[in-house]
């Protein structure tokens, strides 16, 4: 990611990140921008290059070679506060922008051009040789002309395959809770990844299974609606430790009848060797070629734990992005309200710590988030089916509910970036999974 400091104008950050994406850079980089007038630019040229005139832009590269931007590769140029490798500085002459505005269209176009030109210099591009000049011009044009594109991707698969982990790994934020228990995700969760001019909107769905209660039905509906119509692309996640079943194959065959391109991810490869993974790939092989173009676009072995091939999947999905702008602001990573996210965090901790004692987990309804107070005051109901479950959730000397509360509080403080006072109440609501009004309270 590109981080900019100084006189950053609207659009610079977008352009910088389009360049970053296009040039396939890795790690965080930062650039300081300065907008100055003719007189200062003349001075700057004189002091740094011993020429006595005002250029329209000047770049001061900090690095002599460009490789992966990590703290290890650039210990002297790493800014610990920004957590980025400092590429250098760009000075842009605003008087030159004004003079050249008419010739090159608009002032905005001209200042953007100068910024991109300066940026490419910092990345080692120059225009001394005719060929280099041509390459630099072409890149500049490509960056300036890039349109925002997006794609909606439904992530589906059996419970516990790692769908939510995959979405979190790509989005880089915890948008969807994860637990070792199946049926952790109960609703469609949107996770948004934006890089440069491309935005991938993920619909993380509940694991597919046969519906029993109203909540199950709701979960099933959210998978169906994600698959039907809402998604441009479908990613099927398989758990390589479970192999590939006849049901998985049937589902994939079924999906190939639809227009949305299909990808298959074979996840958790950190847990198994090639012996276990190969038979799955072999079974999928026939679906990767075909005359009518209805094929699995790619089969990607991944690990959310080690990050293996997550970038391969991201690149494949970037290539599926279509013109037509972004669907969400580029700095958003979920469409879910804060209240819902808080409830999910509490539910995750309850799932984690209660293990198998409460087979279907609990419901969480966030009743109040008072951001006017410091610490932020939050109250939530933890909803269970039976009196006996209530006792388990509270625990001896309230140890369990305290454990859930303090672990959830830490994550919520991370989410909000503020201190939190979290109050949990355990409530018995027999059959809550089947009661519409309670489901609505919880936000399903």
Ligand X SMILES: Nc1nc2c(ncn2[C@@H]2O[C@H](COP(=O)(O)OP(=O)(O)OP(=O)(O)O)[C@@H](O)[C@H]2O)c(=O)[nH]1
Of residues 348 and 381, the one with the C-beta less far from ligand X: 348
Are 112 and 75 within 8 A, CB to CB? Answer: no
Distance CA 435, CA 429 (A): 9
Regarding 226 and contact with ligand X (CB under 6 A), the answer is no
Regarding 162 and contact with ligand X (CB under 6 A), the answer is yes
Of residues 150 and 184, the one with the C-beta less far from Mg ion: 184
Of residues 78 and 333, the one with the C-beta less far from Mg ion: 333
Q: What are phi and psi of 7, to 5 degrees?
A: -85, 70
Give the nearest distance from C-beta 92 to ligand X in angstroms: 45
Question: Which of 161, 203, 238, 362 touches ligand X by CB under 6 A?
Answer: 161
Give the nearest distance from C-beta 243 to ligand X in angstroms: 15
Regarding 222 and contact with ligand X (CB under 6 A), the answer is no
**Residue linked to tokens 């940026």:** 119
Regarding 347 and contact with ligand X (CB under 6 A), the answer is no
Give the nearest distance from C-beta 271 to Mg ion in angstroms: 18
Of residues 22 and 415, the one with the C-beta less far from ligand X: 415
Per-residue tokens: 231: 């998604």
Question: Which of 17, 267, 309, 334 touches ligand X by CB under 6 A?
Answer: 267
Residues 6+ apart with CB under 8 A from 114: 56, 57, 92, 93, 96, 97
Regarding 30 and contact with ligand X (CB under 6 A), the answer is no
Regarding 305 and contact with ligand X (CB under 6 A), the answer is yes
Of residues 163 and 433, the one with the C-beta less far from Mg ion: 163
Question: Which of 52, 75, 129, 180 touches ligand X by CB under 6 A?
Answer: 180
Question: Which of 27, 206, 301, 363 touches ligand X by CB under 6 A?
Answer: 206
Regarding 55 and contact with ligand X (CB under 6 A), the answer is no
Regarding 379 and contact with ligand X (CB under 6 A), the answer is no
Question: Which of 184, 194, 197, 334 touches ligand X by CB under 6 A?
Answer: 184
- Using the rule CB under 6 A, give the single segment among 19-27, 159-167, 228-236, 359-367 that binds ligand X: 159-167
- Using the rule CB under 6 A, give the single segment among 3-11, 93-101, 161-169, 317-325 that binds ligand X: 161-169
Peptide bond into 375 cis (omega under 30): yes
Of residues 118 and 206, the one with the C-beta less far from ligand X: 206
Using CB under 6 A as the binding criterion, the count of chain residues that bind ligand X stands at: 23
What does 30 interact with, of Mg ion, ligand X, none (CB < 5 to 8 A by kind)?
none
Regarding 271 and contact with ligand X (CB under 6 A), the answer is yes
Q: Which residues bind Mg ion (CB under 5 A)?
A: 163-164, 184-185
Give the nearest distance from C-beta 207 to ligand X in angstroms: 3
Q: What are phi and psi of 408, to 5 degrees?
A: -65, -40
Of residues 38 and 298, the one with the C-beta less far from ligand X: 298
Give the nearest distance from C-beta 414 to ligand X in angstroms: 18
Give the nearest distance from C-beta 305 to ligand X in angstroms: 4
SS (H, E, C) 175-235: CCCCCCCCCCCCCCEEEEEEECCEEEEEEECCCCCCCCCHHHHHHHHHHHHHHHHHCCEEE
Question: Which of 182, 290, 307, 431 touches ligand X by CB under 6 A?
Answer: 182
What does 159 interact with, of ligand X, Mg ion, none (CB < 5 to 8 A by kind)?
ligand X
Distance CA 60, CA 75 (A): 19
Give the nearest distance from C-beta 365 to ligand X in angstroms: 20
Regarding 178 and contact with ligand X (CB under 6 A), the answer is yes
Regarding 159 and contact with ligand X (CB under 6 A), the answer is yes
Give the nearest distance from C-beta 179 to Mg ion in angstroms: 8
Regarding 190 and contact with ligand X (CB under 6 A), the answer is no
Site residues (CB under 6 A) for ligand X?
A: 159-165, 178-180, 182-185, 206-207, 267-268, 270-271, 303-305
């Amino acid at each position: 990611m590109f981080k900019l400091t100084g006189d950053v104008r609207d659009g610079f950050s977008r352009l910088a990140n389009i360049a970053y994406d296009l040039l396939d850079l890795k790690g965080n980089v930062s650039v300081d921008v300065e907008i100055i007038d003719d007189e200062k630019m003349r001075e700057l040229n004189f002091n740094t290059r011993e020429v006595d005139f005002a250029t329209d832009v000047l770049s001061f590269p900090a690095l002599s070679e460009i490789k992966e931007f990590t703290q290890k590769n650039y210990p002297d140029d790493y800014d610990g506060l920004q957590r980025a490798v400092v590429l250098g500085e760009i000075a842009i002459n605003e008087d030159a922008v004004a003079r050249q505005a008419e010739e090159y269209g608009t002032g905005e176009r001209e200042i953007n051009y100068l910024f991109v030109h300066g940026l490419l210099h910092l990345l080692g591009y120059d225009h001394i040789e005719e060929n280099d000049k041509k390459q630099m011009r072409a890149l500049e044009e490509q960056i300036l002309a890039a349109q925002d594109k997006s794609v909606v991707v439904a992530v589906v698969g059996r419970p516990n395959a790692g769908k939510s982990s995959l979405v979190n790994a790509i989005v880089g934020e915890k948008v969807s809770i994860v637990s070792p228990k199946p049926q952790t995700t109960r609703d469609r969760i949107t996770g948004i990844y934006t890089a440069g001019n491309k935005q991938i909107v993920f619909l993380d769905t509940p694991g597919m299974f046969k519906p029993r209660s109203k909540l199950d039905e709701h979960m099933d509906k959210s998978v169906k609606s994600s698959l039907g119509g809402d998604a441009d692309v479908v990613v099927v996640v398989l758990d390589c430790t479970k192999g590939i079943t006849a049901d998985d194959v049937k589902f994939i065959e079924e999906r190939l009848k639809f227009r949305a391109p299909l990808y298959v991810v074979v996840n958790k490869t950190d847990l198994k060797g090639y012996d276990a993974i190969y038979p799955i790939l072999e079974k999928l092989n026939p679906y990767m070629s075909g005359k009518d173009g209805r094929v699995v676009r790619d089969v990607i072995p991944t690990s959310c734990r080690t990050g293996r091939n997550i970038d391969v999947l991201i690149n494949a999905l970037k290539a599926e992005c279509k013109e037509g702008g972004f669907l969400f602001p580029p700095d958003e990573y979920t469409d879910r309200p804060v209240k819902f996210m808080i409830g999910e965090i509490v539910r995750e901790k309850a799932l984690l710590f209660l293990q198998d004692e409460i087979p279907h987990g609990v419901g969480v309804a966030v009743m109040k988030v008072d951001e006017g107070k410091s610490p932020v005051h939050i109250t939530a109901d933890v909803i269970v089916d039976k009196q006996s479950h209530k006792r388990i959730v509270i625990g001896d000397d309230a140890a369990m509910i305290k454990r859930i509360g303090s672990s959830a509080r830490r994550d919520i403080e991370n989410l909000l970036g503020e201190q939190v006072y979290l109050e949990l109440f355990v409530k018995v609501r027999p059959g809550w999974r089947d009661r519409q009004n309670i489901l609505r309270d919880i936000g399903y």
